[in-house]
Chains A and B, each alone.
Chain A
Amino acid sequence: MAARKNKPGARLDVRRGTAVVEVATRLYPLEAVLGAAYVFVDRCYLRVERAGRGCLAVRLKSKEGPVAREALEALVGEFENELLHHALRDRLQKTRGRLREYLVARALLTAEESRVLPEPAEDRRDAPAAAGGAPAPDSAGGGDDYLDDPLGIAVPWEERYGDKAKGGGDGGG
C-alpha cells in the first residue's frame, strides 16, 4: 500500500483547493517562476511570495474552488514542469543571445567586405548609366542585376513612342 504524500516542496490544501509550491531561486530564477505562474493565470489564482532566504512560494488556488487531491497534485506537477521549461528557456536565451550577437556581427562584417570588393566589369551594363540612373544606395555592389533593362521597360513612353505617336496623330487628322 502506497502512502499518499504531498509532493516535496508542495503543500496541498484540498478543502480550499490551494497548493503552495516552494521554489529555490538558486535553481529557478525569478523570471522563470513568474513566467511559469503566468501560464496558469487562466486556471488559477496565483500569488508569488518570499518564503525565506533564497526561496519563493507560489500559491496556486484553483478557480473552480475545492478540487480533488489528484487534480491538485496534477496541477502542482504541471506547474513544476512549467518551471523547468522556463528555467531552461531562460538559460538558452542567455546562451543564444551571445550567439545571435556573434551572427549579426559576422553578417555585418561580411556585407562590409562584399561592398569593398571590385565589381566584375562584364556584369555591369551601360543602360542604367546611359539613362542617368545611379545604383541604388542600398545595393551592396555586384548584386545590381535589377538595374538591367534588356526589354526597355524602364524607357519612358514619350521617349520610345513620342515621335511615332505625333506622326500618327498628324497623319490621321
Chain B
Amino acid sequence: MAARTLKLDRKLYPRAALDEAAAAFGELAHVEIRVEDGYHRIRFSEVATAAADRIADEFANFALIQAVERARREGAA
C-alpha cells in the first residue's frame, strides 16, 4: 500500500471540486486534504496497488473537470 501526495493551487482548484474528487476516489485510497499556504495538499494513503502510479494524476484531472463544470454552472446561473 503506497502513499502519494499532490499539491494543487487553492485559487485554481476550489475546495468543493476537491471534495467531490475525494469522494469519487474514496474506494481507491484514503484521501486527506489539508491547506498549506496557497495550496491544497492532498495525501493519498492506503492506495490500491493497481492505482498507485496514476492516482494523483487521475485525481488532478477529476478535480479539474469538477472545477470547470462548477465554474460553468455558476456562470450560467
Contacts and interface: CB of A to CB of B under 8 A. Distances in A.
A50 interface: yes
A75 interface: no
Contacts, number: 40
B61 A34 contact: no
A61 B11 CA distance: 22
A45 interface: yes
Contact of B12 (A38, A49, A61): A49
Contacts of A48: 9, 12-13, 64
A129 B75 CA distance: 48
Contacts of A56: 12
B8 A47 contact: yes
B29 interface: no
A31 interface: yes
B68 A35 contact: yes
Nearest to B75: A31
Contact of B64 (A30, A31, A37, A61): A37
Interface string B62-74: 0011011001000
Interface residues of B, number: 17
A87 interface: no
Nearest to B6: A47
A39 B60 CA distance: 14
Contact of A41 (B9, B13, B54, B61): B61
A113 B71 CA distance: 38
28 contacts: A31-B71, A31-B75, A34-B12, A34-B67, A34-B71, A35-B68, A38-B64, A38-B65, A38-B68, A41-B61, A41-B65, A45-B54, A45-B57, A45-B58, A45-B60, A46-B60, A46-B64, A47-B8, A47-B60, A47-B64, A48-B12, A48-B64, A49-B9, A49-B12, A50-B11, A50-B38, A56-B12, A61-B57
Which 4 interchain pairs have the tightest Cβ spacing? A45-B57, A38-B68, A34-B68, A41-B61
Interface of A: 30-31, 34-35, 37-38, 41, 45-50, 56, 61
Interface of B: 8-9, 11-13, 38, 54, 57-58, 60-61, 64-65, 67-68, 71, 75
